Amino acid sequence: MKKARAQIIEILPKIDLVIEVLDARLPASSANPLLERLRGDKPCIKILNKNDLADSSVTKKWVQFFEKEQEVKAIPIEATSRRDAGLIPKLCRKLLPARTKAKKPLRVLVVGIPNVGKSTLINTLAGKKIARVGDKPAITTCPQQIDLRNGILLSDTPGLLWPVLDNLAGAGRLAASGAIGDNAYDTFEVGLTSAQYLAEKYPALLLQRYNLSTLPETPLGIIEEIGRRRGCLIKGGDVDLYRAAELLLRELRAGKLGQISLERPEEQPGVFEKGMEHK
């Protein structure tokens, strides 16, 4: 975080606009308050990436929420879609009319926490592989500038703008989404809290995915039933609870349960704290 802060402070005076890449399923938890404090009054575009995995009705609320702030625009996209990415340069020009009219390059900084899709978006905007992409944190390792040859100069910073994990509810949502490493949380506990959240917010999707006629009354019961249905068994026919929880999280992250948002603007305190206790 100290390194990220120093890099952002150094480059911001040369920047006209900031693009912050967020996870559309958890826009608040995948943001970092550091950026808001440092960017000041510079225009900002909030990219709600992985839009295909998020609940579209909730995403609309997030767009409205972010755009209440002056000089902020929000746009839901899939970072691999050239059509979606093509909307971003137009929005940059709209937010910087003076530089556009003067035919000056628009200097844009792209930031985001690890594994949020920042490098994928940069590659899509550039039309070629420039930034390394992977499913592990901190793939980008050094700053670089990319000329999109359309009047926009992108500055990319390393994926070191880490999420804030001292909020256990937000950290639990990050864990459920796959944004942080497996060794940072208890898979079974995060699986339990995910099952509880899904039972409260998306019960029909759970019933459909796991071919259930009714939902068990407790999160543990849901995990056990998923394990039975999917053959996550150990000797004696008992359910391997860890494997069943892992399966639920894996399918949640892949979108196999459907389009799900893990937080919303009007959200009450989350239920994800327990799984983030240190092992």
Question: Are both 38 and 148 inside the same structural domain?
Answer: yes
CATH number, domain of 104, equals 3.40.50.300
**77: pLDDT strictly greater than 80:** yes
**42: pLDDT strictly greater than 70:** yes
- 110 lies in a domain? yes
Domain extent at residue 6: 2-156
- pLDDT at residue 269, rounded to an integer: 53
Question: Are both 114 and 197 inside the same structural domain?
Answer: no
* pLDDT over 90, % of the chain: 63
> What does the alpha-carbon distance between residue 76 and residue 73 come to, in Å, rounded to a whole number?
10
Count of positions (residues) in the chain: 279
Cβ atoms 84, 77 nearer than 8 A: yes
Q: How confident is the model at residue 279 (pLDDT cuts 50, 70, 90)?
A: very low
- pLDDT at residue 136, rounded to an integer: 43
**Higher model confidence: residue 191 or residue 167?**
191
- pLDDT at residue 134, rounded to an integer: 45
Question: Are both 76 and 194 inside the same structural domain?
Answer: no
For 177-220, write each residue's pLDDT tens digit. 998 888 889 999 999 999 999 999 999 999 999 999 999 999 99
CATH number, domain of 179, equals 1.10.1580.10
Question: Are both 143 and 184 inside the same structural domain?
Answer: no
- Number of domains within the chain: 2
Cβ atoms 4, 162 nearer than 8 A: yes
Question: Are both 13 and 151 inside the same structural domain?
Answer: yes
- pLDDT at residue 159, rounded to an integer: 47
- pLDDT at residue 1, rounded to an integer: 66
Question: Are both 69 and 128 inside the same structural domain?
Answer: yes
> Rounded to 5 degrees, what are φ and ψ at 216?
-55, 155
Question: Are both 172 and 129 inside the same structural domain?
Answer: no
Can you tell me whether residue 258 is helix, strand or coil? coil
Question: Are both 52 and 91 inside the same structural domain?
Answer: yes
Of 134, 156, 178, which residue constitutes the final position of a domain? 156
Task: Spell out the residues 6+ positions from residue 268 whose beta carbon is closer than 8 angstroms to its own.
Answer: none
Question: Residues 45-76, buried b or exposed e (16+ Cβ, 10 A)?
Answer: bbbbbbbebbbeebbeebbebbeeeeebbbbb
Cβ atoms 109, 11 nearer than 8 A: yes
- 152 lies in a domain? yes
Question: Are both 150 and 248 inside the same structural domain?
Answer: no
Question: Are both 151 and 34 inside the same structural domain?
Answer: yes
- 139 lies in a domain? yes
- pLDDT at residue 113, rounded to an integer: 85
Question: Are both 102 and 219 inside the same structural domain?
Answer: no
> Rounded to 5 degrees, what are φ and ψ at 268?
-80, 170
For 211-265, write each residue's pLDDT tens digit. 999 999 999 999 999 999 999 999 888 999 999 999 999 999 999 999 999 999 9
- 37 lies in a domain? yes
Mean predicted lDDT score pLDDT of the chain: 87
Give DSSP secondary structure letters for 65-130. Answer: HHTTSTTEEEEE--TT-HHHHTHHHHHHHHH-HHHHHTTPPEEEEEE--TTSSHHHHHHHHHTS--
**Region for residue 117 given its phi and psi (left: phi exceeds 0; alpha: psi -120 to 50; beta: otherwise):** left
Question: Are both 113 and 189 inside the same structural domain?
Answer: no
- pLDDT at residue 257, rounded to an integer: 98
- 161 lies in a domain? no
Cβ atoms 19, 161 nearer than 8 A: no
Q: How confident is the model at residue 145 (pLDDT cuts 50, 70, 90)?
A: confident
